[in-house]
Homo-oligomer: A and B are copies of this chain.
């Protein structure tokens, strides 16, 4: 078990050793640690290893010149200059928040970035400014459009956070796919079959094989097949792709650069790096601030008081489970599985810093 503080110091040192400025190292670290605290280790420490390997392969820019390349009163396009995604994304969300202060809302499309990790990290940045936060990103193509077999879209998550007064904030963060890649990997390890409607084989025939992605298969968009609304998930994922990668001038859809160093760099490019999209809306650009926050409390209370289905104890507001996990892990400490401890130890050894293996 580790404290957040221990892992934070390790991560900051590791990124500083790679050449990051202390500010950038701290910025990236905050996102990794938040993912661990929210109980999402797939976006936590293991991403430090991914970035370490991209850095060794000279595929990220450790001293990027992140800058606005186009803007209007409420918008900006940010060029991440090949930065670690968490750094380009944090800077972009800060710009969205600044724009919102003067224009009411701020919208930033980011290009030249890389995998940005936890989508909801950026939306939560807006909350302390009494703003609604919005964040979305493209990701490596695994999802086929409806009626197609070509993986063209990533898991393309959407996150939205809305502040309330006494109630904890509404915080939604979800992939626009029927199933997460990580869940397929777990099913494969357990020897389980995938329920029909989540993945298809290389010909577009429904499959129950959790390893089907390795055989030319693809994940279906949220909603599954067209009969249960999969075309809606396809549209939603396409919107994320257009906002994140066409508005910004990044590599859209199938051209999204691989976020893992063992995947080859794509030969064809149609823009710069990976793309994200961020929004910040001042609640008092719509309502008197207190009135809005009180109404959001009423909204949350109303939905929390919906009658639970048979066998369920309560109805959740998006963000409830993650917040409860955050509170628990913050108290108990962060459990890091042995293989990831080993990864961190190897990084530490190569960079000449300390990392302690623990039970």
A73-B70 contact in complex given A107-B105, A170-B242, A312-B204, C-beta closer than 8 Å: no
- Tell which of B132, B195, B238 touches A172, judged by Cβ atoms closer than 8 Å: B238
Contact assessment for A102 and B77 in the assembled complex, using a CB-CB cutoff below 8 Å:
no
Q: Is the C-beta of A326 less than 8 angstroms from some C-beta in chain B? A: no
Query: Per-residue CB proximity of A137-162 to B under 8 Å, as 1/0?
Result: 00000001111111010000010101
- The yes or no answer to A166 lying at the interface (CB within 8 A) is no
Residue of B nearest to A313 (CB): B147
- Closest Cβ neighbor of A255 among chain B residues: B302
- Measured in the bound complex, the distance between the Cα atoms of B109 and A292 in whole Å is 13
Cβ–Cβ contact A309 & B174, under 8 A? no
Q: Which residues of B lie under 8 Å from residue A145 when comparing CB positions?
A: 303, 306, 315-316
A9 to B189, CA, bound (A): 65
Give the CA-CA distance A311 to B149 in the complex, in Å. Answer: 11
Q: A200 CA to B311 CA in the complex, in Å? A: 14
A306-336 vs B: 1/0 string, CB under 8 Å? 1111111011101000000000000000000
Which residues of A (171-189) have their CB < 8 Å from a CB of B?
172, 174-179
Are B72 and A282 within 8 A (Cβ)?
yes
Across-interface contacts of A312 in B (CB, < 8 A): 147-148, 204
- Chain B nearest CB from A222 CB (Å) reads 5
Bound-state Cα–Cα, A232 to B254, Å: 24
Given the interface contacts A232-B174, A286-B77, does A308 sit within 8 Å of B149 by beta carbon? yes
Within 8 A of B (CB), among A217-240: 222-224, 227-229, 231-236, 238-239
Q: How far is the CB of A309 from chain B (nearest CB, A)?
A: 2
B contact residues around A103 at 8 Å (CB)? 72-74, 103-104
Q: In the complex, are the beta carbons of A309 and B200 less than 8 A apart?
A: yes
Is A281 among interface residues, defined by CB-CB distance under 8 A?
yes
Residues of A in contact, count (CB < 8 Å): 90
Pairwise interchain contact A203-B74, C-beta atoms closer than 8 A = no
Among the listed B160, B205, B235, which residue makes an inter-chain contact with A239, where contact means beta carbons less than 8 Å apart? Answer: B160
Contacts of A176 in B (CB 8 A): 232
Give complex CA distance A276, B175 in Å: 25
Question: Is A52 in the interface zone, CB < 8 Å from B?
Answer: no
For residue A317, which residue of chain B has the nearest CB? B238
Question: Known pairs A70-B286, A75-B282, A222-B229. 19 more at Cβ < 8 A?
Answer: A71-B104, A74-B104, A75-B285, A77-B286, A77-B287, A103-B104, A107-B281, A148-B306, A175-B232, A177-B229, A198-B228, A204-B308, A205-B309, A222-B232, A224-B224, A224-B228, A242-B296, A249-B291, A253-B299
A-B contact pairs, 11 of them (CB 8 A): A71-B104, A132-B247, A148-B309, A152-B306, A158-B236, A178-B229, A198-B228, A205-B310, A223-B229, A246-B292, A253-B303
Which 8 pairs across A and B sit closest by C-beta, in order of nearness?
A204-B309, A72-B104, A172-B235, A72-B285, A150-B306, A148-B306, A174-B232, A75-B104
